[in-house]
Amino acid sequence: MSRTLDSDRSPGAPNDRVAAAQAQPNIALIKYWGKRDVALNLPVVGSLSITLDTLWTRTEVRFSDALDADSIVLNGKSDPKQLKRTSACLDLLRARAGIRTRAAVVSTNNFPTGAGLASSASGFAAMVLAGDAALGLNLTPAEQSVLARRCSGSAARSIFGGYVEWAHGSRADGEDSVATPLLPADAWPLSVAVAITSTAEKAIGSTEGMNRTADTSPYQDAWIDSQEADLAEARAAIAERDFERLADISEHSCLKMHALALAAKPGLLYWNAATVAAMHVVRSLRAQGVPVFFTIDAGPQLKAVCLPSAASRVAAALREVPGVLNVVETGLGGPAHLIPTAAAAAA
C-alpha cells in the first residue's frame, strides 16, 4: 500500500506519522439492525449496501510524540463528544502497531453529521485507512473492514465501493464479520437523491435504538429469521441488474426494519412528516413507471435510488415536497482511499 506522507506541508513535528484518507458513506438496501455482540460491534444479521460518490469524509490522522492526549476536530471545531469513539478506534490501530503514541484527528464531512446520512460509516472508514497508512500497518482491505466495523458497524462497508455485503459471521471473536465487494459501481450505475428533511442530530443513536429493539420489540426473531432470504433476493437482483427486483426487496427491508423499531417500547420513530410525504411521492413516481425506490436509515432523510435516466425527474419531484430542505444528488462511488494530507487539511 502506498503511504501518504506529506509532513512538509502540514504543521507538526518532524517525526510525526501522518496520513489522510477519504471515504464515502454507504446506504444499506438490506438493512443492518441489531448487535449480537455490542462490544465487538457484531451484527445479528448480514446487510447489503451501495457506496456513494459525491458525499465524503476526509480525515487526517497524525500520531505525534509531542501529544499528551488524542484530539478530534470535526468540521473545523474541536468535538469532545466524539473523542471517546475516536480514541477507541485509535486504540485499535495503536494495538496493531504496538505503540501508545497519541494522535490528532482532523475530519471534515461535506454533508450533515449525525442525521441518518452515515457520517460514522465514512468517518471511521477514513480514520482506519489514514491510521493504517500513518503507522505503516499495511492492512488488507478485509482487515481494514474488520477494524472499521469495531469502530462503527456500517463503516465496515464503506471500505469498499459499489455494491457491498457485510456478513454477520459466526465466530465469537468477530473476525469473520467482514464486508466484501459484490460488484463495482460502474458495473451497474445507479443514482441516489438524498432528500434532507432535517439537519438536527438524531435523538436516539443507532446502538441505543438497536439494543432497545432487541430487548423489547416482539418482531426481533422474525427480523433475524427472514434476513437471509432478503439478502439472497438482493444479490440475485444485482447479479441480473434487475432494477424492479432490487426495488421491491430494498423497500421491503427498509419498511421491515422500521416496523421492527416502531414496535420497540417506547417505539422508535425516525421519520418526520416530510419523510412520509417523500415516501408517497416516490411510490407515485414508481406507479407512473419511473424506475425509483426509497430507503431510509435511522434518521429522517429519504434516499431515493433510481436508474440514472430518472435522476433529474426524481430530484425535481423531491424538491417539491413540503419540508424537504435540500436534495443532494449522487451516483455510486469507489472504495475508501488515501489522499494527500494537504487535501484533507483544505477540506
Contact between 152 and ligand PMV by CB under 6 A: the answer reads yes
How many alpha carbons lie under 13 Å from residue 155 in its C-beta half-sphere?
28
Burial (CB < 10 A; 0-12, 13-18, 19+), residue 225, is: exposed
Query: Closest CB to ligand PMV among 47 and 82?
Result: 47
Among positions 18, 20, 21, 28, the unique one binding ligand PMV when judged by CB under 6 A: 28
The string over 297-312, giving b where at least 16 C-beta atoms fall within 10 Å of a residue's C-beta and e elsewhere, is bbbbbbbbbbbeebbe
Query: Closest CB to ligand PMV among 146 and 339?
Result: 146
Contact between 191 and ligand PMV by CB under 6 A: the answer reads no
Closest separation in Å from C-beta 52 to ligand PMV: 12
Contact between 153 and ligand PMV by CB under 6 A: the answer reads yes
Q: Which residue is nearest to ligand PMV (CB)?
A: 28
> Beta-carbon neighbour count of residue 166 at 10 Å?
28
Contact between 31 and ligand PMV by CB under 6 A: the answer reads yes
Report cis status (omega within 30 of 0) of the bond before 141. no
**8-state DSSP, 202:** P
Among positions 22, 23, 32, 105, the unique one binding ligand PMV when judged by CB under 6 A: 32
CA distance 103 to 69: 7
Residue at 15: amino acid letter: N
Closest separation in Å from C-beta 206 to ligand PMV: 4
Number of residues that bind ligand PMV (CB under 6 A): 13
CA distance 205 to 215: 16
Of 28-36, 104-112, 216-224, 225-233, which part binds ligand PMV (CB under 6 A)? 28-36
Residue at 145: amino acid letter: S
Contact between 301 and ligand PMV by CB under 6 A: the answer reads no
CA distance 114 to 207: 13
Closest separation in Å from C-beta 47 to ligand PMV: 4
Query: Closest CB to ligand PMV among 260 and 318?
Result: 260
Query: Closest CB to ligand PMV among 112 and 153?
Result: 153
Query: Closest CB to ligand PMV among 114 and 291?
Result: 114
> Beta-carbon neighbour count of residue 14 at 10 Å?
6
Query: Closest CB to ligand PMV among 32 and 160?
Result: 32
Contact between 213 and ligand PMV by CB under 6 A: the answer reads no
Closest separation in Å from C-beta 11 to ligand PMV: 32
Burial (CB < 10 A; 0-12, 13-18, 19+), residue 284, is: exposed
Ranges within 89-148 binding ligand PMV (CB under 6 A): 120
> Beta-carbon neighbour count of residue 229 at 10 Å?
10
Closest separation in Å from C-beta 51 to ligand PMV: 12
Contact between 154 and ligand PMV by CB under 6 A: the answer reads yes
Are 35 and 41 in contact, with CB atoms under 8 Å apart?
yes
Position of cell 503511504?
3
Closest of 14, 50, 42 to residue 192, by C-alpha: 50
Among positions 94, 196, 297, 310, the unique one binding ligand PMV when judged by CB under 6 A: 297
Q: Which residues of the chain form contacts with ligand PMV (CB under 6 A)?
A: 28, 31-33, 47, 120, 152-154, 206-207, 297-298
